[in-house]
Structure 1
Amino acid sequence: MLTLLEPAGGNPRTATLFEYDLDYAFEKKVEPVSLRFPVTADMQKLAQWPAFVFDLIPQGSGRAYLLGQLQLADGPAADFPLMCAGAFNPIGCVRVAEAVQYYEQHLARHETDTPMHGLSLEDIIGRGEAFHERMLVHSMLAAGSLGVQGAAPKYLLTTDHEGMWHADGALADERAAAHFIVKRARGKTPSDDKVLRNEAAYMRVASAMGLRTAGELRYQEDTLFIPRFDRIVRDGKVLRLHQESAASLAGIVGFEASPSQFELLQALRAVVSDKTTETVEFLKRDILNLAMRNTDNHARNTAVQKIGANVRLTPLFDFAPMYLDPAGIARAARWYHPVSKKELHAWPAILAAMDIADVERNHIQVELYRFGQRLVELERRMLQAGVDDDIVAFLRPHIAMQIEQLSALGEH
């Protein structure tokens, strides 16, 4: 239960009451709604909204649609009502009860006597009449695009055991075979298409370089199919995994913050099961972001998942040549020194500034040095994966800079 004490203004830096249901709190096996809020029987008075709610607030095209439905002007004051209407089926395993009720009322308004059959792959790719009609009936709600944050049009779709496609949430769990995010370009320019077309190749490169990835992305006729990793289908049941952004773990409220990578890493290390392994994975991802110019590294593009008792970084997602984006996306999360607040660029200096024991620092240093030696393969890996030739040519100096910096770790 979340109670805003000053709901009308929409200012997230106002007092809030947060508590778990008492019956739930005393059950034997319970999961928290956020790893920052372990399950307890106590009511907590918070100085600001809990950061996890910002993982649930619709963004992008889903936000625009819902603003129209609710007849709200955009802005911070819309955030809470948007969550209460849109967070019925977001990524992860948290649902907002009011949003589920809103969704059920929405479906009731669009009931038809015609049974909803699955869509073919051609319907999805071709945006045929059946697809548009289904999205109209479900008004993007059943497609779950409200649960996927970001500017690009995205749909959450599920395949059944016959290979037909359904809006996620419109298909019963026992009929679900696999879950996907279906993504289209952010805009209508050739650069937008180029970014989306290369995202699948970028993920193949990340996998080849040893980063944690999940499934094979598939690009087909200006549509990208991304297997979801917050769901596991097993024995006719769908297991929904806890997923939470680095922004939530770091207690960041709102969407405009530009946090330090040191802050995000510290927040991740506070909850993951294996601090050293996840720190190395986090750093390798940032090295590839810099080498391959994925500039869209905001704090919600990094997340953790919980599988059983194990908490770790999710597989990599939203990894693409975002330097090409016409909007000119700059890196949001940077290595600002914890004391001086000046941005650090060299990996030896970044490692030296980390608040960790020297034994762990030395281990991480060796791992990054070895990763730097593997970066000499990066251009070949990109060409093999199908990254566009002109992107590979543009990245050469950026790759060389990372190799040079990481080589210096072997001298310390």
Structure 2
Amino acid sequence: MNWVPPLGGATGAGGEAPKLLLAEDKAGLLFPDAVLEDSDVSQHWFVKFARNKGNRTDQDILRSEFHYYRALQTLGIETVASQGLALEEATKPSLWMQRFDRRVTAQGVERYAVESIYSLANVTTPGSAMDHLDVIRMLAGLWREAGQVNQIPDLVADYLRRDLINKILGNSDNHGRNTAIIRGVSSFRLAPIYDLAPMVMDDEGITRTTKWPKALERAGDVDWRGVCRALSDIADPDDPLAALAGAPDLFERLRQDAHRLAALPDILTESGLPDRTMNHPGIALKNLEQRLKEWDLK
């Protein structure tokens, strides 16, 4: 790929880290998003740079994000696409990802409707606190309205696994813009995992804004068994989460996911995760087996 000098801004992606939205033409040249006609585009790119001052810590956070995606892909967990995923160092690192809201086909460019949790909940203030139970109930309601009741147990299991991944990998930046759904013609699904980085390392002290109720999340530790019990013990038949009543045990599914995730330290060590990330006290990788036991997940 070759860079063509930009003709205008293409930084429409949200968040604190500098980002570029680019389109690649059929000759491999890169242009700012929306400059090319759809018929000339071969791929859409989302390029991310180190946030804040771009110091060593900021750069290691970005490098770690790259390794996190690759590790989860190894475990068969959907993240931003592995195809094209690249960490380019140059003078400063940049993370290159193919956009999951665009797909180039023989018929043209397909655009997918992506909507964040904040948008679904009509939250307009960035960084607003949310309750995981409220978010799950809202999502389950959408799934039920779309006739996807039988998919609600899988939705909830996926959501739980994502929060466990955040806890293991030190991703404290879990506000409502960092989880989204993709709207189909008559269906919904969770968007792939994105913005997954060890934000506990950030010098600004990023804390979780979406949490479980206080009885289930204290001092940063989650009562995973209690969370699953709270989700499963829904007596009101009008509650969208009542669909979980006859589903396989949520906690057992989460324990199975934890067993898979126990391979992350080895995968990430082999991948080349920065030592500062692996050894950070706010990240559970170095002592993951012990942490899973403490969480009653092993």
TM-score (norm 1): 0.61
What is the rounded CA distance, in whole Å, between the counterparts of 1:245 and 1:225 in structure 2? 21
What is the rounded CA distance, in whole Å, between the counterparts of 1:310 and 1:192 in structure 2? 38
- Equivalence for 2:170: 293
Aligned length in residues = 271
Shift of 1:314: 0.5
**Match runs of 1:5-404 below 5 Å:** 120-121=1-2, 123=3, 131=5, 134=6, 137-138=7-8, 140=9, 143=10, 145-146=11-12, 148-186=13-51, 187-216=53-82, 217-221=85-89, 222-272=93-143, 273=148, 274-336=151-213, 343=218, 345-354=222-231, 355=234, 356-357=241-242, 359-360=245-246, 362-394=248-280, 395-397=285-287, 400-404=290-294
Provide the alpha-carbon RMSD of the alignment.
2.2
Change (3 A) 1:360 1:300: farther
Change (3 A) 1:189 1:332: same
Report the secondary structure of 1:396's partner residue. Answer: coil
Change (3 A) 1:350 1:392: same
Shift of 1:345: 1.6
What is the rounded CA distance, in whole Å, between the counterparts of 1:241 and 1:397 in structure 2? 39
Shift of 1:175: 0.7
Once the two structures are superposed, residues 344-390 of structure 1 have per-residue CA deviations (whole angstroms, 9 ceiling, x without a partner) of 72101111112434645643222111112223312112113321234
What is the rounded CA distance, in whole Å, between the counterparts of 1:360 and 1:233 in structure 2? 41
Amino acid at match of 2:42: A
Given the alignment, which residue of 394, 405, 409 partners 2:295? Answer: 405
Amino acid at match of 2:179: T
Shift of 1:162: 1.2
Once the two structures are superposed, residues 328-356 of structure 1 have per-residue CA deviations (whole angstroms, 9 ceiling, x without a partner) of 1111111015xx79757210111111243
Once the two structures are superposed, residues 116-175 of structure 1 have per-residue CA deviations (whole angstroms, 9 ceiling, x without a partner) of xxxx53x4xxxxxx63xx2xx41x2xx1x12x1101111110111111111110010011
What is the rounded CA distance, in whole Å, between the counterparts of 1:218 and 1:164 in structure 2? 17
Shift of 1:391: 2.1
Shift of 1:199: 1.1
Once the two structures are superposed, residues 85-105 of structure 1 have per-residue CA deviations (whole angstroms, 9 ceiling, x without a partner) of xxxxxxxxxxxxxxxxxxxxx
Once the two structures are superposed, residues 216-242 of structure 1 have per-residue CA deviations (whole angstroms, 9 ceiling, x without a partner) of 221102111011000111114111111
What is the rounded CA distance, in whole Å, between the counterparts of 1:286 and 1:342 in structure 2? 12
The question of whether the paired residues in 2 share the 8 Å contact of 1:195 and 1:321 is answered with yes
Change (3 A) 1:360 1:396: farther
Amino acid at match of 1:378: L
What is the rounded CA distance, in whole Å, between the counterparts of 2:131 and 2:23 in structure 1? 36
What is the rounded CA distance, in whole Å, between the counterparts of 1:336 and 1:235 in structure 2? 48
What is the rounded CA distance, in whole Å, between the counterparts of 1:289 and 1:169 in structure 2? 33
Amino acid at match of 1:301: N
Give % identity.
Answer: 28
The question of whether the paired residues in 2 share the 8 Å contact of 1:291 and 1:399 is answered with no
Shift of 1:320: 1.1
Structure that is richer in helix per residue:
1
Change (3 A) 1:256 1:199: closer
- Greater CA radius of gyration, 1 or 2? 1
The question of whether the paired residues in 2 share the 8 Å contact of 1:298 and 1:332 is answered with yes
Structure that is richer in strand per residue:
2
Report the secondary structure of 1:202's partner residue. Answer: helix
Amino acid at match of 1:194: D
Change (3 A) 1:361 1:323: farther
Change (3 A) 1:251 1:407: same
- Equivalence for 1:27: none
The question of whether the paired residues in 1 share the 8 Å contact of 2:101 and 2:112 is answered with yes
Larger RCO, structure (CA 8 Å, separation 6 or more): 2
TM-score (norm 2): 0.83
